[in-house]
Amino acid sequence: MGLDAYVYCNCLKEGKTTNPPVARELIYVDDNGFLEILYPAGMKEKEKDRLHYKLREWSRDCCRHQLLHYCSERVGNWSAVSHLQEAVMEQASRFPVLASIWPSCNGGKVEARLAPQILEELEGFCLDIGKQKGLFLSDVRTGDDIYSFIKSNGGVFHFDGRIKRNTGFDQDGLFVVDRETGQEYFRSKHFTQKPLPEEKALRLDGKPYTIQPALLTDIGSGKECRVESLIGGYEEYSELAVVARHLKEDDFYSIEPLRNLLKASIETGNPVFWT
């Protein structure tokens, strides 16, 4: 789950496409970013469905832009989007338009007239990004960041509905808590992680997958705690720590996709549609 976005090209209005299944003047983009048809009065639903299917198939390769998308980007999963949004909101008074564009769900758009100002604010945010600090769960050996602290999630990065435990971190360290009572089972700023042998086979949306349990051990106290899923997914991180440091642009996956979308909006004069 996450946020994607696209900007339409101008090939249709400039007559640079192959011939569409209906007259060009009957094709339009609705407020949600979908390609639609102005159907003649009295047309039956079956015929509308048939034409709409033809329109969709035609749009796949009617010009050099697939689906008539001049630019199409994966803005990020919701954690990545929230990470950037929260950092921007910390300076909302300086970057008010950039702070206002974020959707809370899939859908909606950013008007093309706003794109130049938003891009200017985004570049200003990037110039000042090093003045802010962020919190990360990092691999001690490599220095790689595994998770960023997301305030809106309370720092939780794993919600285990089967055993009703949440795993996350904040300025006081990594925690494992009961998701219903809030009882804390584990807390550590610096700990080791050892994979346990009993992998579990599960199914998600009908597809099989496995999870690898692990044993966490606080380096200072020796306190241990079992978690049902290896922190970091399938990659093994044996020593982890909660680290605070100054931010950099590379910490935000969503910056470059957003920059590309805004530039495309300026070049075409068309909105950015969230999806």
Residues 32-41: pLDDT tens digits?
999 999 998 8
CB 193 within 8 Å of CB 239? yes
- Strand, helix or coil for residue 178: strand
pLDDT at 208 over 90: no
Q: In what order do the strands lie in the sheet with 272-274?
A: 69-77, 2-8, 272-274, 109-110
Of the pLDDT bands very low, low, confident and very high (cuts 50, 70, 90), residue 204 is: low
Question: For position 234, what pLDDT does the model report?
Answer: 62
Q: Tell whether 85 and 154 lie within a shared domain.
A: no
The answer on 154 and 238 residing in a single domain is: yes
Same domain, 138 and 230: yes
Return the closest-CA partner of residue 85 out of 67, 71, 103: 103
For residues 112 and 127, membership in a common domain is answered with yes
Quote the pTM value: 0.85
Tokens of 45: 């639903």
Residues 126, 157 within the same domain: no
Whether residues 100 and 197 fall in one domain:
no
Q: 231 and 141 share a domain?
A: yes
Task: Identify whether residues 196 and 235 lie together within a single domain.
Answer: yes
For residue 218, pLDDT beyond 90: yes
Per-residue pLDDT, 106: 81
Q: Is residue 75 part of a domain?
A: yes
Same domain, 263 and 213: no
Q: Do 137 and 242 belong together in one domain?
A: yes
Q: Quick one: pLDDT at residue 105?
A: 82
> What residues have CB less than 8 Å from 85, skipping those under 6 apart?
99, 102
Range of the domain at 213: 133-246
Shared-domain flag, residues 110 and 89:
yes
The verdict on residue 261 lying in a domain is yes
Domain identity same for 221 and 150: yes
pLDDT, the chain, mean: 93
The number of folded domains in the chain is 2
